[in-house]
Amino acid sequence: MPRLVTVGVDGSPESRAAAIWAAREASSREVPLRLVHVIDWPISPAVPRLDRETADRWADEALAEPLEDVRRRHPHLEITTRRLSGRPAGVLAVESADADLLVLGARGLGGLRGYLVGAVGTATLIATETPVALIRAADIPEGSGPARYGEIAVGVDSHEAPDRVLAFAFEEAARHSCALRALHGWRLPPAYRSFPFLDSDGEREAARKAAMMLADLLLPWSHRFPAVSVSQMTFMRPSQLVQAAAGADLLVIGRHLRRSPLGAHLGPVAHAVLHHAATPVAVVAHD
């Protein structure tokens, strides 16, 4: 069974934040931490003067700073480093195959909330089935030692099998001894949406059924994790997930696995969350 947290580093402030966040997560899980830097080789012709020796030196520097920082904060944590070559998304996906969690840095959108997930981050999300946590520079935790959360939020999609997403969220909440807030956005059936002049009875009934459905999904997990305090919230528009998760220390969402190389791999809700959430986001792939 994989027992490892892997983090990709590239020398940016975002990757430093990711390394610090990953170290605290590894400490909480009591597992080793692996720092990985991938040299994008062959190097782009946009930088023709960058030879292999210089690229290797840059890679060593990109690994040295977060390694020193993490060791200072977590002197008893087992840490390894790997300097690899290839296309970053593919290499990181391979390196995350034996990990419980892959952590990546993502740029914040300036003065706006949310993340700017670049081509490497998006491609890595699509390429790996390992849960991926996205961290911004603004998410650097204070202090050292294991992470301490007040509450974790999880988005639940009733139209897809949510077991992997709920398992990850409940395990995280149990590990961090914190509360869990389950969120579900529902929509009116097409028949109701076609007749906006109908009274609110249909809307109230749909809301009641959505709440009951969410409670049914959570029940077996609450029995499995009795120490986790669970609250639930339903709302009519899935796009409200980000607002509903406000104040949580971590937001967990699902990503449907698509085996075809064609077509979109991040659904509209996941895409919106990654661009507007103001908290670290964990993306869990599921069938």
Quote the pLDDT of residue 216: 94
Same domain, 104 and 214: no
Same domain, 15 and 138: yes
Quote the pLDDT of residue 59: 81
Structural domain containing residue 176: 148-287
Kindly report, residue by residue over 210-229, the tens digit of the pLDDT: 899 999 999 999 999 999 99
**Overall domain count for the chain:** 2
Last residue of a domain, one of 146, 173, 208: 146
Instruction: In whole angstroms, give the CA distance from residue 72 to residue 250.
Output: 25
Last residue of a domain, one of 146, 178, 195: 146
- Segment 25-29 shows an average pLDDT of 92
Kindly report, residue by residue over 67-95, the tens digit of the pLDDT: 999 999 999 999 999 999 888 888 999 99
Same domain, 115 and 242: no
Kindly report, residue by residue over 111-167, the tens digit of the pLDDT: 344 455 666 777 888 888 999 999 987 777 666 666 678 999 999 987 776 899 999
44 pLDDT above the threshold of 70:
no
Which CATH number fits the domain that encloses residue 102? 3.40.50.620
Same domain, 192 and 69: no
Token pair 């609450």 is found at 222
